[in-house]
């Protein structure tokens, strides 16, 4: 079923789901949503599976018209969003009636905003995923004039919100030692963690370039490193000694030395660091990183859906709000009970 007609779209608007894992041996990186947490947040808001495809909007959204009544959710980098001249909150669900227009402007913080629809976007699957992998030539950015279909909507409701951790202004990122860390001297690693980096404008779904003051970072025998597999999160020092943090659409193999790997749960912090945001790195032991990762996974989906709350608006809209509470509360309440039980 069609859901949204695209009236206009920014240059970096693509359909993204969890990507195509398992094709590293074929040279294809996983791709998928740059901020995977935002995908999970949208799924929690709409009460659907995390592999539902959403629109990823790099820096700027677009204008969308509903072809049917459709419930949407907005997550990731907060952007200015308006339905029929009415400003609507981010990290929330909204009803878009047939014929109504949703305008999404520039990011107010961070980089990647996400527009989800109930049922997920049901665009064509290529190799088991709907994600555009632009560098690989799979799929293409969303263009004005396209109509985006949606899958069967479940129990999605408008008027819900989710409080999310602010990950849009940089900060300290956890990194683990990796296969090439030892190629960097101890002094060079110490300098790396003591350095404050600024997110460079040169960034895309493949990676984020980080600028810094001071000498370039160098590894031993840096020009004769045999190309090895690359994973998202790797911090690669290019020929000019500037770090790139590689993201989901990165190349799968490379010969530039890598000083370490950002842990998956902190990768959104890098991807969402807006222009000029400051980042630092902190090495953590593999054991600690794995323990943190396991703790974060335990009950993750339940925790997110339990955090979904009714959207509280100004008192003038109280009647409206009450109606949400009357219909609502079922899923969130049940999840909360299960977590506590």
Partner 1 sequence: MTNTASASFPQIVPMGLAGLLVRFSARLDERANRAALAFRAAVEAVRPEGVEETASSLGSVFLRFDPGVTDHRKLSERVADLLGARDWFAAPLPAGRRLWTVPAVFDGPDLAAAASLVGLSPSDAAEELAAARVRVLAIGFAPGLPYMGTLPAHWDIPRQTALTPVAPAGAIVVAVRQIIIFPTATPTGWRQVGRTGFRAFRPGAADPFPLAAGDEIRFRPVTGRDLDALTSADPAGGGAVAEALP
Residues 6+ apart with CB under 8 A from 339: 299, 302, 303, 306
Q: Which one, 78 or 139, has the nearer CB to partner 1?
A: 139
Q: Which one, 22 or 106, has the nearer CB to partner 1?
A: 22
Residue 126 lies near partner 1 (rule: CB under 8 A):
yes
Residue 228 lies near partner 1 (rule: CB under 8 A):
yes
Q: How far is the CB of 64 from partner 1 (least distance, A)?
A: 26
Residue 309 lies near partner 1 (rule: CB under 8 A):
no
Residue 264 lies near partner 1 (rule: CB under 8 A):
yes
Of residues 80, 252, 283, 336, which one binds partner 1 by CB under 8 A? 252
Q: How far is the CB of 253 from partner 1 (least distance, A)?
A: 3
From the list 121, 118, 128, the residue with the least C-alpha distance to 157 is 118
At residue 327, the 3 state secondary structure works out as helix
Q: How far is the CB of 269 from partner 1 (least distance, A)?
A: 15
Residue 190 lies near partner 1 (rule: CB under 8 A):
no
Residue 288 lies near partner 1 (rule: CB under 8 A):
no
Q: How far is the CB of 292 from partner 1 (least distance, A)?
A: 9
Report the 3 state secondary structure along 225-271. Answer: CCCEECCCCEEEECCCCCEEEECCCCCCEECCCEEEEECHHHHHHHH
Q: How far is the CB of 70 from partner 1 (least distance, A)?
A: 28
Kindly indicate which of the ranges 34-42, 49-57, 152-160, 224-232 contains the residues binding partner 1, using the contact rule CB under 8 A.
224-232
Residue 245 lies near partner 1 (rule: CB under 8 A):
no
Residue 204 lies near partner 1 (rule: CB under 8 A):
no
Q: How far is the CB of 51 from partner 1 (least distance, A)?
A: 16
Residues 6+ apart with CB under 8 A from 71: 46, 93, 94, 95, 96, 117, 118, 153, 156, 157, 158
Could you give the C-alpha distances from 83 to 51, 87, 91, 317, 335, in angstroms and in order? 26, 7, 15, 16, 30
Residues 6-65 within binding reach of partner 1 (CB under 8 A): 21-28
Residue 171 lies near partner 1 (rule: CB under 8 A):
no
Q: Which one, 220 or 334, has the nearer CB to partner 1?
A: 220
Q: How far is the CB of 220 from partner 1 (least distance, A)?
A: 7
Read off φ and ψ for residue 86, nearest 5 degrees.
-105, 120
Residue 135 lies near partner 1 (rule: CB under 8 A):
yes
Instruction: Report the C-alpha gap between 182 and 194 in whole angstroms.
Output: 18
Q: Which one, 86 or 294, has the nearer CB to partner 1?
A: 294
Q: How far is the CB of 60 from partner 1 (least distance, A)?
A: 26
Residue 129 lies near partner 1 (rule: CB under 8 A):
no
From the list 66, 63, 73, the residue with the least C-alpha distance to 1 is 66
DSSP readout, 77-106?
Answer: S-EEEEETTEE--SSEEEEE-TT-EEEEEE
DSSP readout, 141-189?
Answer: ---TT-EEEB----S--SSEEE-----SSEEEEEEE--TTGGGS-HHHH
Asked if 319 and 326 touch (Cβ cutoff 8 Å), the reply is no
Residue 187 lies near partner 1 (rule: CB under 8 A):
no
CA 30 to chain centre: 14
Q: How far is the CB of 8 from partner 1 (least distance, A)?
A: 27
Q: Which residues in this chain contact partner 1 in the complex, by CB under 8 A? A: 21-28, 126-127, 135-138, 176-183, 220-221, 224-229, 231, 233-234, 251-254, 261, 263-264, 286, 289-290, 293-294, 297
């Amino acid at each position: 079923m069609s859901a949204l007609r695209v009236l206009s779209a920014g240059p970096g608007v693509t359909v993204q789901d969890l990507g195509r894992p398992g094709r590293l041996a074929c040279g294809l990186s996983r791709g998928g949503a740059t901020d995977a947490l935002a995908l999970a947040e949208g799924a929690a808001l709409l009460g659907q599976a995390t592999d539902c495809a959403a629109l990823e909007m790099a820096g700027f959204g677009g204008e969308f018209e509903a072809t049917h009544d459709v419930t949407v959710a907005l997550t990731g980098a907060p952007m200015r969003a308006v339905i029929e001249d009415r400003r609507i909150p981010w990290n929330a669900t909204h009803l878009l009636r047939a014929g109504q227009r949703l305008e999404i402007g520039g990011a107010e913080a961070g980089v990647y905003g996400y527009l989800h629809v109930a049922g997920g976007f049901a665009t064509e699957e290529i190799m088991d995923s709907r994600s555009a992998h632009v560098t690989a030539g799979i799929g293409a950015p969303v263009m004005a004039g396209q109509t985006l279909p949606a899958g069967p909507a479940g129990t999605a409701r408008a008027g819900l919100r989710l409080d999310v951790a602010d990950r849009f202004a940089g900060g300290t990122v956890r990194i683990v030692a990796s296969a090439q860390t030892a190629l960097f001297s101890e002094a060079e690693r110490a300098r790396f963690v003591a350095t404050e980096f600024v997110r460079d404008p040169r960034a895309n779904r493949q990676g984020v370039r980080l600028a810094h003051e001071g000498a370039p970072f160098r590894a031993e025998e840096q020009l004769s490193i045999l190309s090895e597999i690359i994973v998202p999160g790797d911090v690669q020092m290019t020929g000019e000694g500037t770090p790139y943090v590689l993201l989901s659409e990165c190349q799968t193999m490379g010969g530039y030395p890598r000083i370490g790997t950002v842990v998956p749960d902190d990768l959104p912090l890098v991807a969402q660091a807006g222009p000029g945001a400051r980042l630092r790195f902190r090495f953590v032991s593999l054991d600690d990183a794995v323990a943190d990762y396991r703790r974060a996974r335990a009950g993750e989906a339940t925790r997110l859906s339990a955090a979904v709350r009714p959207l509280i608006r100004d008192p003038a809209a109280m009647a409206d709000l009450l109606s949400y509470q009357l219909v609502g509360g079922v899923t969130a309440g049940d999840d909360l009970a299960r977590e506590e039980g």
